[in-house]
Chains A and B, each alone.
Chain A
Amino acid sequence: MRRDVVIAGAAAVPGVRRPGPAVSTQALLARAFELALESARIAPGDVDGLGVSSFSLRPDRAVDLAWQLGIRARWVMDDVVGLSLLAHAVRAVQAGDATTIVLVGGDRLVGAEFADLATNLNRTARDYLSPLPTGGPNALFALVTRAHMRVHGLSREAYGRVVLAQRAWAARNPAAVYRDTLTMDEYLAAPAVADPLGRYDCVPLVAGAEAVVVAARAVDAPVAVRAVETIFNHDHQEGDGLETGLGAVAPRLWERAGIAPADVDVAAVYDDYPVTVLAQLHELGLTREPHAAALLDGQQDGARPAVNTSGGMLNAGQAGGAGTLHGLVECVRQLRGERGEGQVPGARTAVVSTATLAIYRYGACAAAAVLERA
């Protein structure tokens, strides 16, 4: 008999765009760890597992951070795909290998630190992209967006709709870095970055951290993990980049979760670029139309699921490896009824997904989880 696994707490250290010299990756991760445990009302001494998603913690790894935090762990793991950490943590708790696992992600990656990461993200980027030079991921997703526009007959407004819908949610999130109302004209007129992408299509980089607590124990306001699926290298980078891989795992995700896409109250889909949002919504079965217009335009009028209710990374910022935990933290907080002004009334079910980590032309890692208020 498998144990029920819950997410017992979640917390974020809000992202800041220009961190002072005293803000370190290690300190950000330590703060998120502390806040998530407070949220779960669990003492550090009860933690026996630590998973870390960070690019700039190096040369340290999860075991080093565990040592720094005074955690004697039965389970440690490093992975920059937060939902992959979740998948393994859930299995570990189900199997009894650990009882209380904190998953924490975060980075201070600004300026030259980010440039170094992007240039040397992996061997392929270092050896085949940086010599072009692509100058970071924006150019890759500009090309993917072009393909998406061509295949589906969309104009830039289709991607602006994603940004505007998320901006309206960001207005209700005090932790977002972009909160002012944005009009379609302003979106279209923003400085071009890599055609067709403009400034608001590209995530602002921030320093911050996010964390969740995965546990077997009964806790206040727990959130059950109904299913987690991951897929890597789904098409070996041989396609046009419009399929994230989620479509291949979605049927099993919903079957294992025991709910249907139509039952979902809140969705948090990875939003490094608007095109990725549209692809995930479609592949998860949350919208039938590739532009998701009805769902996105109806967000503030109660259309469900509510999508990227934090404002997403496009408005809240991406703190490196925290990005793949951002949607998970937001959904847990929604299901616990902790989102204040941005709360989706009566939220009981949520889906979180990630499509990320480009190898050569587009993302190679996809993952999704279904959560339910227990």
Chain B
Amino acid sequence: MTAPALAIPACEACGHRVFPPRLACPRCHAREWRLEPAAGGTVAEVTTVRRSLVVGPGDERVELAIVRTDAGPLVIARLQDGPLEPGARVALTFRDGRVSARAGD
């Protein structure tokens, strides 16, 4: 049950890539998209969520990161294997709305 590699929409008309998906391209307003692979990226920023609507005291912390995908767009990813530092290379997968990142290419 490995989640599939992250793929993101690219505009059929101008090639502009976005995430999350949009109805129309913010650059040229075309509405046709193709999916392109975006499985590789570099961690830009990280946070450890210690208290939130879903994380209480004593619960497992949630590690999140902004990841600059090699394809261009910045995505928010769950760091599945614990904290990483900015600059770390990650492999991105996607399932049920969640972008997951693991160390490695």
**Residues of A with Cβ closer than 8 Å to B?**
114-115, 118-119, 124, 127-136, 138-140, 142-143, 146-147, 150, 191-197, 233, 236, 238, 240, 360-361
Contacts and interface: CB of A to CB of B under 8 A. Distances in A.
Nearest to A193: B51
A194 B97 contact: no
Contact of B98 (A115, A119, A132): A132
Interface of A is mostly: mixed
Given A146-B46, A194-B50, A124 B20 contact: yes
Residue with the highest number of chain A CB atoms closer than 10 Å, among B18, B48, B73, B86: B48
Given A119-B53, A136-B53, A147-B45, 11 more contacts: A124-B20, A128-B97, A128-B99, A133-B62, A134-B62, A135-B55, A139-B47, A142-B49, A143-B76, A193-B52, A360-B20
Interface string B62-105: 10111000000110111000000010000000001111000000
7 contacts: A124-B20, A132-B64, A134-B49, A143-B47, A192-B50, A195-B47, A238-B26
Nearest to A126: B97
A135 B64 CA distance: 11
A134 B76 CA distance: 9
Given A132-B62, A135-B62, A360 B76 contact: yes
B41 to A, nearest CB: 14
Given A128-B20, A143-B66, A238-B73, A133 B54 contact: yes
Contacts, number: 101
A139 B45 CA distance: 11
B50 A193 contact: yes
B20 A135 contact: no
Contacts of B7: none
A113 to B, nearest CB: 11
A374 B62 CA distance: 52
B61 to A, nearest CB: 9
A118 B77 CA distance: 18
Contacts of A131: 96-98
B34 to A, nearest CB: 19
B49 A135 contact: yes
Interface residues of B, number: 29
Given A195-B48, A195-B50, A360-B20, A143 B64 contact: yes
B44 interface: yes
Which 4 residue pairs across A and B have the least CB separation, nearest first? Answer: A135-B52, A131-B97, A142-B47, A146-B45
Interface in B28-61: 44-55
Contacts of A360: 20, 76
Contacts of A136: 52-53
Contacts of B86: 150
Contacts of B50: 191-195
Contacts of B54: 133, 135
Nearest to A119: B53
A118 B46 CA distance: 21
B45 A143 contact: yes
Nearest to B26: A236
B44 A147 contact: yes
Nearest to A133: B54
Nearest to A140: B76
B66 A361 contact: yes
B29 to A, nearest CB: 12
